[in-house]
Amino acid sequence: MALTKRERLEKTIAGQETDRVPVALWRHWPGDDQRAVDLAEATVDFQRRWDFDFVKVSPASSFCVTDYGVQDRWEGHIEGTRTYFKRAVQRSLDWTELRVLDPTKGALGRQLETLRLLHEAFGDEVPFIQTVFSPLAQAKYIAGSDRLIEHMRTAPDRLKTGLSTITESTLRFIDAMRRSGVAGIFYAIQHASYAVMSEAEYLEFGRPYDLQILEALPPEWWFNMAHLHGRAPMLNAVKDYPLQALNWHDRESDPDLANGKVLFPGAVSGGIGRMEPMHTGTPVEVRAQARNAIEQTNARRFILSTGCVIMTTTPQSNIRAAREVVETGS
Please name the amino acid found at residue 30.
P
Tell me, what CATH number does 197's domain have?
3.20.20.210
Q: Closest Cα partner for 178 from 129, 221, 139, 228? A: 221
Q: What is the pLDDT of residues 239-267, one digit of tens each?
A: 999 999 999 999 999 999 999 999 999 99
CA torsion sign for 168, 188, 262, 302 is positive
pLDDT digits (tens, 9 = 90+) for 182-238: 999 999 999 999 999 999 999 999 999 999 999 999 999 999 999 999 999 999 999
Q: What is the pLDDT of residues 151-182, one digit of tens each?
A: 999 999 999 999 999 999 999 999 999 999 99
Whether the pLDDT of residue 1 is over 80: the answer is: no
- How far, in Å, CA of 138 to CA of 313, rounded? 27
Tell me the CA distances in angstroms from 308 to 87, 97, 135, 163, 226, one per residue in order. 25, 33, 19, 25, 11
Q: What confidence tier does 330 reach under pLDDT thresholds 50, 70, 90?
A: low
Domain count, the chain: 1
Q: How many CA atoms lie within 13 A of 40 on its CB side?
A: 16
Is the full-model pTM beyond 0.95?
A: yes
Average pLDDT over the chain, rounded to an integer:
97
Provide the residue range defining the domain that includes 226.
5-328
